[in-house]
Structure 1
Amino acid sequence: MRKRQVLKHSIAIVSMLVCVCCFFIVSVTVFKLPEAPRKDRQMGFYPTIRSRKVSLQDFNLGKFGEMMIDMLPQDLAFTVFVPSEDAFKRDLRLSVSDSLKPDKFNDTYAIVTRILGFSAVPRILSSANVQSGELVNYDSLSGFPLYVSKDIDGMLVVNRIRSEIVDVRKKEIVVHVMDGVIMDAEFEQSVLAEDDTEED
């Protein structure tokens, strides 16, 4: 007698749980819950960056940036972290008025080629591919490791160098304009050493 009562009670409890679950599923599908804020939306006083497609026809990369992009095949996927014109001048002492003269052009071309090796990745990497708070690692064309993250305002940071403009497109190439030059310590030392000899 007691076993039958326990069995009846357990069947009643299971039936009640099934009814509650069915009610919950129906209420969720019929009455949609408000959408939770997406992870990449920013809170507080920081403006959100809305990405818009910018092509290189509408944007001037500067002479050295254009040299870098022209070295790559236009029909293959690449991402290039191009130094801004100011960064080329500040960090590499390259200026359009002086560095492109015939007697200095070969040296300038060699430097720009080396910078391309440090800062180009053979794949598409837009700012939307990197989540806030995430650190992703890629090898550049020269094998130099690049550590990419996204700042709170949506700009990319690569090896502690912040981007000024992101997601500029030229066919299959994605360009991010950086406020600095991505290079290894050995090349940076050689650039500094050249500056010291020029001052003497």
Structure 2
Amino acid sequence: MMEYQKKTRKGSYLRSLVPLLFMFIIFICLLLFLSLSLPDVSLVKHSKETYRRLVTRKNSMEEGLGELGELMVSMLPDDLPFTVFVPSEDAFERIVQLRANISLDEDKRNNTVAILSRLMGFSAIPQHLPSIMVPMLKEISFDSVSGYTLYAWKASNGTLIVNNVRSEQVDVRKGETIVHVMDGVIMDAEFKQSFETDDED
């Protein structure tokens, strides 16, 4: 009789343990699902993993670079850490009169590549600078690969601003390069003059 009662108690204990175990497994699966599907909101600065997750999420938006932007980024080695501030397609056309469907024609391509490589010198820095590392309302400075000084900060709405040029899209990953698409062109005053027409102030 005692043996039977022990077996019965053991059986009921196992029966009550099964639903608990099942609920625990569901809870773990739910946590895993949420951690994979929700964006990373960690603000752990200087964490490589944080910005890698951030820029990886942006990969689906690479079409914002356009042909000229892609060509500009391709000039950098993709296995070294760089950050580049690439003009948007509209900014290329509006400020330096470059349009992919015309400027990349065979007879104009060399001139276009020369302009892009000069712009690259002004707008690329030889280190990673994900947008999460730029402070809000506090300016930080960097030297570009050509020695031109870049001043970066974030507006109160979170928009990245570099040398008074606002970002349209941030943290696009191309190999080891981080790309920020800008609504303007970063260059020095002397180079800028070569694109200004006589009727401009």
Would you say same fold, with TM above 0.5? yes
Matched, 1:53 2:18: no
Which of 95, 98, 111 is the aligned partner of 2:99? 95
Flag structure 2 segments of 5+ consecutive residues without an equivalent. 1-42, 44-53
- Any residues of structure 2 matched to 1:9-88 within 5 Å, and which? 53-56=56-59, 58-60=61-63, 61-88=65-92
Q: Aligned-pair distance for 1:171?
A: 2.2
Q: How many residues align?
A: 146
Aligned to 1:145: 149
Which of 142, 153, 156 is the aligned partner of 2:160? 156
CA contact (8 A) 1:55 1:170 kept: no
Measured in 2, the distance between the counterparts of 1:169 and 1:155 equals 18
Matched, 1:112 2:113: no
* Identity between Structure 1 and Structure 2 (%): 52
TM-score (norm 2): 0.68
TM-align CA RMSD? 1.8
Of the structure 1 ranges 118-127 and 168-177, higher mean CA displacement relative to structure 2 is found in 168-177
Aligned to 1:121: 125
Flag structure 1 segments of 5+ consecutive residues without an equivalent. 1-39, 41-50
CA contact (8 A) 2:55 2:173 kept: no
Aligned to 1:171: 175
When Rg is computed on C-alpha atoms for both structures, the one with the higher figure is 1
Q: Which has the higher helix share?
A: 2
Are the structure 2 counterparts of residues 52 and 175 from structure 1 closer, same or farther at C-alpha, using a change threshold of 3 Å? closer
Q: Aligned-pair distance for 1:56?
A: 4.4
CA contact (8 A) 1:55 1:168 kept: yes
CA contact (8 A) 2:55 2:178 kept: no
Structure 2 counterpart SS, 1:53: helix
Amino acid at match of 1:152: S
**What stretches of structure 1 move > 2 A for 4+ residues in a row?**
51-58
Q: What whole-Å deviation, never above 9, does each CA across 1:84-121 have from its counterpart, x for those lacking one?
A: 00000000000112111111111111001001110000
